[in-house]
């Protein structure tokens, strides 16, 4: 299991923003979705998920609303704001550059 | 737009903390429940699903804390923690906290009290619309340049010629006899021309002001306007009083209006306003240079423009009218005229209390510094456990804020109490109208809060700065060894201490000068004997012969009362602040080319006055029963008159003719000793006394010298006067002593206040010095132990510690003396009989402060000299 601490700094934010770009969802669903989308490679622990969500909310990138979950429970739903969308683009670009750079370095020549 | 969201969220976290917490709980719980469900779905037993989910989740509290961190509450939480921590540490050292809060409270309290006055006198707007356009006009005598009230002759000319004013009015405060609830009553009246209310821009709340034609002689009816206070007191606020006739000073007068509450003419609290019957063709009929004059500037006309115009007009009038030659006009802003020398005194006091506050701050900075050095280990430990420097400084700043808050609260309380006390203490010394309104208001509150925060920053930053520069390793290395302080810290503390001593010297020297002034004033030879003398004021209304008769009858009856040793009357009592002045010449000698060169104070007194007041008869005779309305006019002069105008010729038998009421040639028949009539510090001026029986005035004061109790005597005199004329009211019954003590009130106030502040400064600096020395000794115990083990005697140690204290004291005293010498010039106007650089005062201040400083150093020094080397070496 890949611990969140092992993720490169800032990648968790990127993953959350990316997942929320699809639809608004609550914390548990976000964690599930990241796991599914990464083919079970990335498991986000709640210990880093929620602080990250709160930080993103306070950055104004995501918005939180209380709503009904699939099985009729009250849950906090997060959705991307306009600023969040812009941030997602910027972060994605940044990430692509970074991973390309890393790939260049570690690729056996 | 994003920042709005961010701000909203931050505020929500801060203000609705409980709800946010709850939501966090709910959110995390939701997650755990979903996890359990997922495990159940994967086929786990309920028990197992739950356990696994919780295990996966980990420390809930820790996650919550991390979420809170993410919400940016660290700073706020930290500050909250620091407050709690500060309160705990402060309550653990009650001695330090008490000293700190007390010195701050006293410093801030003194400032609040004085600021309350400054605010009322200098800052609060005067209670008139466009008050900045209201001016006061006065006249300046040609020769002496003394400022006097205004002559009605000048006024009618000004009113016609001056273009600068929208309205111009003169008036005079005169008591009026009227029917009170129980017999005759004397109320304060203001006799003025119709423009008065327009000048102040205030209309009656009920009825109307009097019209122009009602303030001319021969007006159809006499009208009056009442003050709100008098209307309520006397008529129970009955609006039906309007149009009703009431008896005012022997006439029937009709009430036409009531002024709004708290309306004052400058500082005067008036009961009844009535029109001054000013005749354009004969203005001098209403009186002479004894009228207050107020004007309202036209919009757009400045004070300078008005001054320039009035200078021109005064020149013109001087050439046209005989008696006006050389008289200047003085135009001043109403506030300046009201505040007068109070401004200087108040600002001076404000400066003085600022010094006290500085001392308190220095004291506290020293204490905190000492404490923070003692706490270095604790701080270093926290730093090494990961606290950032910012965090440590933040904690220290919060601690000083807590101290300042407590000090500020105490100061506000002390200041409010003290300002009430000050109103009482200063009631004879300072007279400005808003005095009654001295109170705590928003600006005073803001001032105190600002002051508290400022002091917190001032004294809190010093130790905080120390912490921010300390070297972590060095501190931890010396941990437990009690190593000596670094040079910089030592110097900083010495500098704080020195400046504290210097500030105290300045205050001590200043209060010394004022105390010596006060002592000198007590030694001033008054020229009269105020003890066992009773005074009271009468206002006479009838024609001249009746006025003379009434006074004579009163004298005859009072004379025969048991216990009366002498009785007489005078127009204006000594030290009451009033006097008349006018030019004169000797009949038979060539008239002076410039009539203004010879002038004298003039006072009308009855027979028996000099005896009753205890004024020495030097030569000739005083007035007696021979001096009647029809007999030849006689006068008595004082020695100052003789010295100034009659050095070559025997003054007795000479005849003078003065420009005063109803002038006739008057023979000088007696010479009396000089008295301090115009103030304790004013040299006696040439004075001519005229006989009440020959030129009876309206205002007169009965002076009774008695061998019996003053109060009983007052009642007896009142009975006699009531029997002579039941309509004659009597007011201002006061011992003569009271006038003397009122004349001393201001110097006494200064001396008391500055003395109190200097004492405060002395105590504060003694405490500061003691604390510093005690700390030094405790830091050096180890070193002293080594010295003593190596053979130093107790006396050597004592000497060395005392020398350290003495060095500080000497430097501080020297610096303070220099500052005091420079600053004492500001006091010159308040001093009497002592020079601002009076050596005795400075030597005294030096000795007192040196003594106190040495005493403060002695206690810890002695403790050091008794150190047991064995214990000291073990000491950590």
> What are the tens digits of pLDDT across the range B71-121?
665 566 677 778 888 888 888 888 788 888 888 888 888 888 888 878 877
Per the model's pLDDT, the better-predicted residue between B163 and B780 turns out to be B163
Residue B189 pLDDT exceeds 80: yes
The set of residues, in sequence order, having a beta carbon less than 8 Å from that of B234 and lying 6+ positions away, is B180, B181
The region of weakest confidence among B242-256, B708-722, B735-749 is B242-256
Residues of chain B above pLDDT 70, percent: 91
CB–CB contact A46 B31 (8 Å): yes
Helix (H) or strand (E) holding B285: none
Burial of B401 (0-12, 13-18, 19+ CB in 10 A): buried
Which residue carries 């001519």 as its tokens? B688
CB–CB contact B70 A52 (8 Å): yes
CB–CB contact A76 B62 (8 Å): no
Phi, psi of B533, deg, nearest 5: -120, 130
Q: How far is CA B228 from CA A78, B126, B177, B262, B432, in A?
A: 69, 19, 19, 8, 20
pTM exceeds cut of 0.95: no
Q: Nearest CA to CA, how far is B28 from chain A (Å)?
A: 8
What are B172's strand-pairing partners? Answer: B191
Contact B547, B629 (CB under 8 A): no
Residues of chain B above pLDDT 90, percent: 23
Nearest Cα residue to B361 out of B90, B807, B814, B764: B764
Helix (H) or strand (E) holding B605: strand B599-605
- Can you read off the two tokens belonging to residue B240? 């039906």
Cα torsion B229, B230, B233, B239: sign: negative
Per the model's pLDDT, the better-predicted residue between B425 and A22 turns out to be A22
Chain B neighbors of A31, CB-CB under 8 A: 31
- Can you read off the two tokens belonging to residue B104? 């701050």
Per the model's pLDDT, the better-predicted residue between B67 and B575 turns out to be B575
The set of residues, in sequence order, having a beta carbon less than 8 Å from that of A90 and lying 6+ positions away, is none
Contact B250, B177 (CB under 8 A): yes
The edge-to-edge listing of strands for the beta sheet with A25-26 is A25-26, A74-80, A62-68
Burial of B439 (0-12, 13-18, 19+ CB in 10 A): middle
Q: Nearest CA to CA, how far is B385 from chain A (Å)?
A: 23
CB–CB contact A51 B69 (8 Å): yes
Chain B, nearest residue to A31 by Cα: B31
Condensed to tens digits (0 to 9), the pLDDT of residues B313-346 reads 999 998 888 778 888 899 998 888 877 667 777 7
Closest residue to A50, CB basis, from B9, B56, B63: B63
Residue B481 pLDDT exceeds 60: no
Chain B neighbors of A76, CB-CB under 8 A: 23, 26-27, 30
Q: For chain B, what percentages of helix, strand and coil (3-state, to nearest 5) are there? A: 55, 15, 25
Query: What residue ranges do the domains of chain A occupy?
Result: 4-106
In this complex, is the C-beta atom of A99 within 8 Å of any C-beta atom belonging to chain B? no
Query: What ranges in B16-119 are assigned the alpha helix state H?
Result: 17-41, 46-57, 60-70, 74-92, 94-118
Chain A neighbors of B10, CB-CB under 8 A: 58
Nearest Cα residue to B774 out of B792, B801, B800, B795: B801
- Is beta strand B564-570 parallel, antiparallel or unpaired with respect to A74-80? unpaired
Residues of chain A with pLDDT under 70: 1-10, 109
Which residue carries 């119709």 as its tokens? B194
Residue range B6-27: mean pLDDT, rounded:
77
Q: Nearest CA to CA, how far is B41 from chain A (Å)?
A: 14
Helix (H) or strand (E) holding B672: strand B666-672
Chain B neighbors of A28, CB-CB under 8 A: 30-31, 34-35
3-state secondary structure of B857: helix
The region of weakest confidence among B177-186, B217-226, B564-573 is B177-186
In this complex, is the C-beta atom of B28 within 8 Å of any C-beta atom belonging to chain A? yes
Residue range B831-860: mean pLDDT, rounded:
88
Highest mean pLDDT among B59-63, B511-515, B660-664: B511-515
Q: How far is CA B49 from CA A40, A72, A74, in A?
A: 20, 20, 21
In this complex, is the C-beta atom of A65 within 8 Å of any C-beta atom belonging to chain B? no
Q: What is the mean pLDDT of chain B?
A: 83
Distance CA B119, CA B349 (A): 13
Q: What angle do CA B587, B591, B594 make, to 5 degrees?
A: 145
Residue B482 pLDDT exceeds 50: no
Query: What residue ranges do the domains of chain B occupy?
Result: 2-72, 142-326, 342-522+745-874, 541-727
Mutate to test the interface with B, among A3, A40, A48, A60 (most CBs of B within 10 A): A60
Per the model's pLDDT, the better-predicted residue between B401 and B217 turns out to be B401
Greatest Cα-to-Cα distance within chain B, rounded to the nearest angstrom: 139
State the ipTM, two decimals.
Answer: 0.83
Chain B, nearest residue to A74 by Cα: B30
What are B688's strand-pairing partners? Answer: B602, B637
In this complex, is the C-beta atom of A79 within 8 Å of any C-beta atom belonging to chain B? no
CA B804 centroid distance within chain: 41
Chain B, nearest residue to A56 by Cα: B70
CB–CB contact A28 B3 (8 Å): no
Chain A, nearest residue to B8 by Cα: A58
CA B137 centroid distance within chain: 25
Q: What angle do CA A99, A101, A107 make, to 5 degrees?
A: 90
Residue range B128-155: mean pLDDT, rounded:
85
CA B285 centroid distance within chain: 40
Q: How far is CA B644 from CA A85, B341, B549, B647, B654, in A?
A: 100, 30, 35, 7, 15
Per the model's pLDDT, the better-predicted residue between B303 and B471 turns out to be B303
End-to-end CA distance of chain B: 60
pLDDT grade for B727, boundaries at 50, 70 and 90: confident
Closest residue to A55, CB basis, from B31, B37, B70: B70
pLDDT grade for B375, boundaries at 50, 70 and 90: confident
The set of residues, in sequence order, having a beta carbon less than 8 Å from that of B769 and lying 6+ positions away, is B497, B500, B501, B805, B808, B809, B852, B853, B856, B857
Class of domain A4-106: mainly alpha
Contact B607, B693 (CB under 8 A): yes
Contact B601, B686 (CB under 8 A): yes
Chain A neighbors of B35, CB-CB under 8 A: 28
Residue B827 pLDDT exceeds 80: yes
Chain B, nearest residue to A61 by Cα: B2
Given this model, what pLDDT does residue B478 score?
Answer: 56
3-state secondary structure of A83: helix
pLDDT grade for B476, boundaries at 50, 70 and 90: low
Q: How far is CA A8 from CA A11, B58, B665, in A?
A: 6, 22, 115
Phi, psi of B3, deg, nearest 5: -65, -30
Condensed to tens digits (0 to 9), the pLDDT of residues B575-625 reads 987 777 778 889 888 777 666 678 888 899 999 999 999 999 999 999 999
Chain A, nearest residue to B5 by Cα: A60
Residue range B385-409: mean pLDDT, rounded:
81
In this complex, is the C-beta atom of B17 within 8 Å of any C-beta atom belonging to chain A? no
In this complex, is the C-beta atom of A38 within 8 Å of any C-beta atom belonging to chain B? no
CB–CB contact B70 A51 (8 Å): yes
Q: How many residues does chain B have?
A: 876
CB–CB contact A71 B37 (8 Å): yes
Nearest Cα residue to B653 out of B671, B629, B631: B671
């Amino acid at each position: 299991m890949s611990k969140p601490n092992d993720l490169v700094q800032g990648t968790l934010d990127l993953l959350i923003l990316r997942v929320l770009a699809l639809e608004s969802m609550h914390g548990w669903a976000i964690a599930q979705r990241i796991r599914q989308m990464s083919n079970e490679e990335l498991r986000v622990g709640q210990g880093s998920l929620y602080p990250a969500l709160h930080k993103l909310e306070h950055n104004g990138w995501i918005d939180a609303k209380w709503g009904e979950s699939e099985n009729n429970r009250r849950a906090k739903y997060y959705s991307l704001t306009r600023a969040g969308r812009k941030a997602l683009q910027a972060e994605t670009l940044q990430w692509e550059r970074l991973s390309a750079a890393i790939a260049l370095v570690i690729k056996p020549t | 737009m994003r920042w709005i969201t961010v701000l909203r969220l931050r505020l929500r976290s801060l203000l609705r903390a409980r709800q946010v917490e709850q939501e966090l709980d709910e959110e995390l719980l939701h997650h755990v429940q979903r996890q359990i469900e997922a495990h159940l779905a994967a086929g786990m037993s309920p028990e197992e699903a739950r356990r696994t989910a919780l295990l996966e989740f980990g420390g809930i509290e820790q996650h919550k804390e991390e979420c809170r961190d993410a919400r940016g509450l660290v700073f706020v939480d930290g500050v909250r923690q620091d407050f709690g921590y500060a309160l705990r540490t402060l309550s653990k050292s009650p001695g330090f906290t008490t000293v700190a809060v007390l010195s701050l409270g006293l410093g801030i309290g003194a400032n609040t009290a004085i600021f309350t006055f400054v605010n009322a006198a200098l800052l609060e707007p005067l209670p008139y619309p466009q008050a900045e356009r209201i001016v006061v006009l006065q006249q300046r005598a040609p020769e002496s340049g003394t400022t006097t009230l205004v002559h009605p002759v000048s006024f009618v000319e000004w009113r016609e010629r001056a273009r600068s004013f929208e309205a111009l009015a003169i008036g005079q405060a005169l008591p009026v006899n009227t029917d009170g609830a129980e017999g005759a009553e004397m109320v304060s009246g203001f006799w003025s021309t119709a423009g008065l209310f327009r000048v102040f821009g205030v209309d009656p709340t009920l009825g109307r002001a009097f019209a122009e034609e009602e303030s001319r002689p021969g007006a159809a009816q006499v009208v009056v306007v009442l003050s709100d206070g008098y209307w309520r007191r006397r008529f129970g606020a009955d609006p039906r009083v309007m149009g009703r006739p009431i008896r005012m000073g022997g006439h029937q007068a009709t009430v036409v209006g009531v002024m709004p509450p708290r309306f004052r003419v400058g500082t005067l609290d008036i009961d009844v306003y009535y029109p001054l019957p000013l005749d354009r063709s004969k203005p001098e009929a209403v009186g002479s240079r004894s009228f207050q004059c107020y004007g309202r500037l036209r919009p757009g006309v400045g004070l300078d423009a008005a001054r320039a115009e009035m200078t021109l007009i005064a020149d013109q009038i001087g050439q046209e009218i005989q008696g006006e030659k050389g008289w200047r006009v003085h135009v001043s802003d109403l506030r300046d005229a009201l505040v007068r020398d109070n401004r200087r005194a108040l600002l001076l006091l404000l400066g003085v209390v600022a010094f006290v506050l500085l001392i308190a701050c220095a004291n506290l900075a020293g204490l905190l510094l000492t404490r923070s050095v003692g706490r270095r280990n604790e701080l270093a430990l926290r730093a090494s456990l990961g606290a950032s420097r910012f965090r440590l400084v933040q904690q220290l700043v919060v601690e000083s804020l807590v101290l300042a808050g407590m000090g500020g609260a105490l100061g506000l309380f002390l200041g409010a109490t003290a300002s009430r006390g000050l109103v009482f203490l200063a009631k004879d010394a300072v007279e400005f109208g808003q005095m009654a309104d001295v109170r705590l208001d928003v600006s005073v509150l803001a001032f105190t809060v600002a002051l508290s925060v400022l002091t917190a920053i001032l004294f809190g930053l010093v130790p905080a700065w120390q912490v921010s520069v300390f070297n972590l390793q060095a501190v931890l290395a010396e941990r437990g060894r009690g190593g000596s302080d670094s040079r910089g810290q030592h110097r900083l503390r010495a500098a704080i201490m020195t400046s504290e001593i210097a500030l105290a010297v300045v205050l001590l020297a200043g209060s010394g000068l004022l105390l010596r002034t006060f002592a000198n004033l007590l030694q001033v030879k008054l020229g009269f004997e105020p003890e066992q003398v009773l005074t009271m004021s009468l206002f006479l209304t009838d024609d001249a012969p009746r006025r003379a008769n009434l006074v004579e009858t009163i004298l005859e009856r009072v004379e025969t009362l048991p216990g009366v040793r002498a009785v007489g009357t005078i127009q204006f009592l000594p030290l009451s602040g009033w006097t008349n002045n006018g030019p004169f010449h000797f009949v038979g000698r060539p008239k002076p080319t410039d009539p203004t060169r010879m002038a004298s104070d003039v006072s009308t007194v009855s027979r028996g006055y000099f005896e009753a007041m205890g004024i020495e008869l030097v030569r000739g005779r005083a007035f007696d029963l021979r001096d009647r309305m029809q007999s030849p006019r006689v006068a008595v002069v004082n020695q100052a008159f003789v010295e100034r105008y009659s050095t070559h010729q025997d003054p007795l038998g000479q005849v003078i003719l003065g420009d005063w009421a109803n002038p006739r040639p008057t023979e000088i028949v007696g010479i009396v000793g000089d008295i301090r009539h115009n103030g304790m510090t004013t040299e006696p001026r040439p004075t001519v006394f005229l006989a009440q029986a020959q030129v009876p005035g309206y205002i007169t004061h009965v002076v009774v010298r008695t061998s019996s109790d003053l109060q009983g005597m007052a009642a007896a005199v009142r009975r006699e006067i009531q029997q002579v004329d039941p309509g004659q009211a009597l007011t201002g019954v006061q011992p003569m002593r009271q006038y003397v003590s009122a004349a001393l009130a201001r110097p006494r106030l200064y001396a008391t206040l500055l003395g109190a502040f200097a004492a405060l400064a002395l105590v504060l600096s003694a405490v500061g010095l003691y604390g510093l020395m005690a700390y030094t000794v405790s830091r050096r115990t180890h070193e002293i132990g080594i010295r003593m083990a190596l053979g130093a005697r107790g006396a050597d140690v004592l000497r060395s510690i005392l020398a350290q204290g003495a060095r500080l004291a000497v430097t501080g005293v020297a610096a303070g003396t220099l500052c005091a010498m420079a600053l004492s010039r500001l006091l010159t106007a308040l001093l009497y009989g002592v020079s601002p650089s009076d050596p005795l005062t400075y030597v005294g201040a030096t000795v007192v402060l040196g003594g106190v400083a040495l005493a403060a150093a002695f206690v810890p020094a002695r403790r050091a000299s008794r150190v047991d080397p064995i214990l000291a070496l073990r000491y950590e």
